[in-house]
Amino acid sequence: MIRRIIFFYCCIIIFQIAAYVHQAFSKENYKINHKAMALLKKADKERRRILSIKDKSYSFYNKETLIYKVTYLNTIDAGKAVLSAKPGYYKNKKIMVFTAQAYNAKWFNFIYHVHDITESFFSPKRCYPYFLIMKRHEGSHNDFMEERLNGSYRHLIKADQYKTAWKSLKKEKFLKMLSSDEKYNKPALYKDRINAPWKPFLSFNDTQDALSALYFIRLINLNKGEDYYIPVYENRKRYLVLIKAEGFYNIDTPAGKFNTIKVKAFLNFNGVFSHKGSLKIYFSTGPNHTPVYLVTNIRIGFMTAILTKKKI
């Protein structure tokens, strides 16, 4: 049990930020309530503020690699995680490819090998991802998942590759709302095998995925005592993630000393997290908001990830 907890968490501590907040639609008809509508407007205002910034000289908008040591109870070496960002292209559009990789500690390789890779294809121009690909290699078990996000309803109808998803979507109760209220709703597509047909789900407009959400937080002008909300789509569900900026701390890491601002992202995951909790992230102050130190409770004890090296 401990072994599975340690290595499963090693795979998600860096990039699985999607979290608990307010349910933004009812399970019966996906209708967005007034409270969620107000929070979505607040989130959109912050995204537009970010887009209005002319000088976007963030380190992760060029090329960046962050390496973390992951520990259990702050003493047991559980492995390492690597975050990287590099420029790329998608349909002749300039994008950023964000990658998260997780490895178990070498001393445990002979018992249980872990190497997980998640990639988010993010548009700096629009400040949201186009799609996410996740590949998990844990022992003898391999998983694949792909999500397509922020596509228009009209594009879904016309694209040949999504015909199967469109046929399924026509049968769903939320079709009318999806087609009439694109201000808040967007279709999200999901498949769990490379050659599997796409399955349709509902996401928020201008949503982040589980990895791009971390980078989106880095774009926010974090101020002590303020709350922020981020629309996130993760594993066929949509959330409004609550982010709380709590205070300033000095953190000493193998990569150097940092002045940081502590942020809490409230979580609600099954499996590793036994109840609604929070992931604490210490971001460096300054324009890049580098995630320096992360800590969260799990079923038994807690896990940490500390920055050991930064390459730009």
Query: Higher model confidence: residue 184 or residue 308?
Result: 308
Q: What is the mean pLDDT of the chain?
A: 78
Does this model's pTM top 0.95? My answer is: no
pLDDT of residue 26: 36
Domain boundaries, the chain: 2-311
**pLDDT of amino acid 257:** 95
Question: Residues 206-260: pLDDT tens digits?
Answer: 999 989 999 999 999 999 999 999 999 888 888 888 899 999 999 999 999 999 9
Per-residue pLDDT at 69: 92
Q: Is the pLDDT assigned to residue 110 strictly greater than 60?
A: no
Higher pLDDT, 170 or 84: 84
| Token representation of residue 145 | 């998942």
Q: What pLDDT, in 10s, does the model give residues 123-148?
A: 999 999 999 998 877 666 677 889 99
Instruction: Choose between 251 and 153: higher pLDDT.
Output: 251
